[in-house]
């Protein structure tokens, strides 16, 4: 072990070099404690405004959606669990699309401005998010305190909107004109009254709008001013660089209190117990313990061949790739991929214009309609540690990436099959650290393509054959029975003609009967193939299902061991 660590962190009780009780503990500050005048002007416009500084303890990615006749919007948000300087927990949402929050991580230090009770109004998408997201709160502004400086965000809801068009003077003028018609018979006095009322309303409305806009502009300026003053406050000034000791690969577990501590600490900062400095590779090494935990659930990767049989279509064959891992997140980096498109459609109508019954030309009117479509996807990579100390970088499905924070322990299983209907299924996804499990799908439930289209084509073909055959056959029978000549007489005496005449229903609808028989045959083959396909998928997924079941059985003991190193 190395020289002792001298720096004390929030929550430490003993000096790591002397073992003595710490009397001068590090303290955390709220950002407005550094400059108590910073939000004074803000509170003139928003009396209940406050700012809270704290640390992100957990994130979860989810979507909100909005659908209307001219909009189809999907937006990405982080559900943030947050603890302030006094240890008080809270939770809220932040846009995952804004540059400041695209790569928001656990441990980030934020100063959140709660200005006027903003709420998100769009619907939450998905059962998982409905279960996890508990409110619609979102801060009005945020300062992000990073090691290399600060950045800020102000919610667009506070940006002053453009002044509305003045229009109330028109109905005011119309009403006063009607009133004047009764009172003054539309003489000069009546017209003056009408114009006077209209002008007065115009001036009043203009003044009200001007004052309202200026009020909103001053309120917005007060937000910007408060943020501009407090954005100068660093993470170190607030003391949050000492809020939590960052885990290091060389950390060990204290034998006295089972807490994670630095390898070079002479004494435990939590219980004060003296540490053993002799062993260069101690058995209580966090890395050694983590590797032991990871080895309890080994990764599983295999490829199997699957043939999906159809009764009416050509069988489809492809490799099914199956994987299962148990690991710990070392890093997670994300970015937003947003597409926001507005399609404008113009419809032109041209009609003739007549004046006093005389055609004077054409007039064309344009009717414009807009449809806005917005999609949002958060992408990124996750570096994980697996059994035997292996480090692997993975690009997980979006909802799995959004489930993970750095330091989290997780289990993840998926299957991929590039069949004619490509499928990717999350077979199992569980975050042990947060005790959160995603809803999943399975390759065992793969349906393949529908044969209905092929069946309908055959129905049309046999329908055409039936129509043509029944028409010709009916005409032939009618001719043979009504035309009196030697040839038709010979036909009428033929044994087959006699039989056919007596079985008109069968002969006339022969193609319908053939199609019914073929349909029954396809149905029988379909039931048989459905069972064979289901059994084949089950056989492929059996090793994975067994691995997942074994891992689930170990969860209680795994969680106990994980608590030691977290």
Q: What average pLDDT does the segment 158-182 reach?
A: 54
Closest CA to 156 of 138, 143, 171: 138
pLDDT value at position 250?
A: 86
Q: How confident is the model at residue 393 (pLDDT cuts 50, 70, 90)?
A: very high
Give yes or no: residues 272 and 407 share one domain: no
Give yes or no: residues 397 and 512 share one domain: yes
375 Cβ partners below 8 Å, 6+ apart?
74, 338, 339
pLDDT value at position 82?
A: 97
Q: Which long-range contacts (CB under 8 A, 24 or more apart) does 34-40 make?
A: 34/230, 34/233, 34/237, 34/238, 35/229, 35/230, 35/233, 37/229, 38/226, 38/229, 38/230, 39/113, 39/226, 39/230
Q: Over the stretch 529-552, which tens digit does the pLDDT of each residue have?
A: 999 999 999 999 999 999 999 999
Give yes or no: residues 156 and 235 share one domain: yes
Give yes or no: residues 356 and 472 share one domain: yes
In a domain, 471, yes or no: yes
Give yes or no: residues 315 and 266 share one domain: no
Does residue 18 sit in helix, strand or coil? coil
In a domain, 264, yes or no: yes
Q: Over the stretch 47-67, which tens digit does the pLDDT of each residue have?
A: 999 999 999 999 999 999 999
In a domain, 391, yes or no: yes
In a domain, 10, yes or no: yes
pLDDT value at position 497?
A: 65
Q: What percent of the chain has pLDDT over 90?
A: 50
Q: What percent of the chain has pLDDT over 70?
A: 83
> Is the predicted pLDDT of residue 31 greater than 90, yes or no?
yes
pLDDT value at position 4?
A: 42
pLDDT value at position 368?
A: 84
pLDDT value at position 256?
A: 87
Spatial separation of the C-alpha atoms in residues 209 and 45, rounded to whole Å: 18
Give yes or no: residues 139 and 263 share one domain: no
pLDDT value at position 166?
A: 46
pLDDT value at position 356?
A: 83
pLDDT value at position 267?
A: 92
DSSP string computed for 38-96: TTHHHHHH-TT-EEEEEEEEEEEEEEEEEEETTEEEEEEEEEEEEEETTS-EEEEEEES
Q: Over the stretch 406-450, which tens digit does the pLDDT of each residue have?
A: 999 999 999 999 887 788 999 999 999 999 999 888 999 988 888
CATH of residue 108: 2.40.50.660
In this predicted model, which residue has the larger pLDDT, 495 or 472? 472
In a domain, 351, yes or no: yes
Does residue 143 sit in helix, strand or coil? strand
Spatial separation of the C-alpha atoms in residues 403 and 41, rounded to whole Å: 40
Give yes or no: residues 260 and 296 share one domain: no
pLDDT value at position 88?
A: 96
In a domain, 447, yes or no: yes
Spatial separation of the C-alpha atoms in residues 362 and 342, rounded to whole Å: 31
Mean per-residue pLDDT of the chain: 85
> Is the predicted pLDDT of residue 235 greater than 80, yes or no?
yes
In this predicted model, which residue has the larger pLDDT, 507 or 64? 64
In a domain, 173, yes or no: no
Give yes or no: residues 227 and 292 share one domain: no
Give yes or no: residues 264 and 234 share one domain: no
Closest CA to 450 of 526, 350, 551: 526
What's the number of domains the chain is made of? 3
Give yes or no: residues 146 and 262 share one domain: no
In a domain, 107, yes or no: yes
User: Which domain covers residue 406, as residue numbers?
Assistant: 285-566
Spatial separation of the C-alpha atoms in residues 158 and 218, rounded to whole Å: 11
Q: What average pLDDT does the segment 217-235 reach?
A: 92
Give yes or no: residues 10 and 104 share one domain: no
Cβ burial 187-222 (10 Å sphere, 16+ → b, else e): eeebeebbeebbeebbeebeeeeeeeeeeeeebeeb
Give yes or no: residues 302 and 269 share one domain: no
Q: What average pLDDT does the segment 455-484 reach?
A: 77
Spatial separation of the C-alpha atoms in residues 383 and 392, rounded to whole Å: 6
């Amino acid at each position: 072990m190395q020289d002792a660590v001298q720096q004390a962190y929030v929550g430490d009780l003993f000096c790591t070099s002397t073992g003595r009780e710490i009397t001068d503990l590090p303290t955390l500050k709220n950002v407005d404690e550094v400059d108590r005048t910073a939000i004074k002007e803000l509170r003139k416009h928003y009396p209940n405004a406050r700012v809270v500084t704290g640390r992100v303890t957990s994130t979860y990615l989810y979507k909100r959606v909005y659908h209307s006749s001219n909009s189809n919007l999907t937006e990405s948000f982080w559900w943030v669990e947050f603890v302030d300087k006094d240890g008080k927990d809270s939770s809220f949402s932040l846009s995952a699309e804004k540059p400041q929050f695209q790569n928001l991580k656990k441990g980030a230090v934020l100063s959140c401005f709660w200005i006027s009770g903003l709420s998100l109004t769009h619907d939450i998408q998905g059962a998982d998010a409905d279960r996890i997201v508990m409110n619609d709160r979102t801060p009005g502004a945020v300062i992000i305190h990073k090691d290399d400086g600060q950045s800020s965000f102000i919610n667009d809801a506070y940006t002053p909107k453009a002044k509305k068009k003045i229009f109330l003077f028109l109905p005011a003028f119309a009403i006063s004109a009607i009133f004047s018609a009764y009172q003054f018979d539309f003489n000069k006095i009546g017209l003056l009254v009408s114009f006077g009322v209209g002008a007065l309303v115009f001036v009043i409305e203009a003044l009200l709008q001007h004052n309202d806009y200026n009020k909103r502009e001053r309120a917005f300026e007060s937000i910007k001013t408060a943020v501009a003053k407090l954005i100068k406050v660093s993470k170190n000034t607030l003391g949050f660089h000492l809020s939590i000791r960052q885990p290091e690969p060389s950390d060990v577990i204290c034998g006295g209190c089972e807490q994670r501590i630095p390898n070079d600490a002479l004494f435990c900062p939590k219980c004060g117990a003296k540490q053993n400095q002799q062993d260069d590779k101690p058995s209580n090494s966090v890395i050694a313990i983590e590797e032991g935990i990871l080895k309890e659930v080994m990764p599983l990767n295999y490829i199997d061949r699957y043939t999906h049989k159809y009764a009416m279509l050509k069988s489809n064959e492809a490799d099914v790739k199956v994987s299962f891992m148990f690991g710990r997140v070392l890093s997670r980096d994300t970015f937003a991929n947003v597409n926001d498109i507005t399609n404008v459609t113009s419809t032109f109508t041209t009609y003739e214009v007549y004046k006093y019954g005389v055609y004077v030309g054409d007039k064309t009117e344009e009717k414009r309609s807009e449809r806005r479509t917005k999609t949002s996807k958060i992408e990124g990579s996750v570096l994980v540690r697996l059994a035997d100390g292996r480090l692997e970088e993975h690009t997980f499905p979006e909802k799995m990436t959004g489930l993970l924070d750095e330091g989290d322990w997780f289990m993840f299983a998926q299957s991929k099959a590039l069949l004619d209907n490509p499928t990717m299924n999350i077979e199992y996804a569980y975050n042990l650290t947060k005790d959160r499990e995603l809803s999943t799908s399975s390759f065992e439930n793969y349906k393949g393509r529908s044969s209905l289209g092929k069946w309908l084509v055959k129905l049309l073909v046999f329908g055409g054959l039936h129509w043509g055959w029944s028409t010709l056959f009916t005409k032939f029978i009618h001719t043979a029975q009504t035309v009196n000549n030697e040839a038709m007489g010979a036909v009428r005496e033929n044994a087959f003609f006699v039989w056919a005449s007596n079985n008109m229903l069968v002969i006339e609808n022969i193609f319908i009967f053939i199609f019914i028989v073929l349909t029954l045959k396809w149905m029988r083959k379909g039931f048989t193939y459905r069972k064979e396909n289901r059994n084949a998928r089950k056989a492929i997924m059996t090793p994975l299902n067994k691995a997942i079941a074994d891992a689930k059985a170990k969860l209680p003991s795994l969680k106990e061991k994980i608590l030691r190193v977290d």
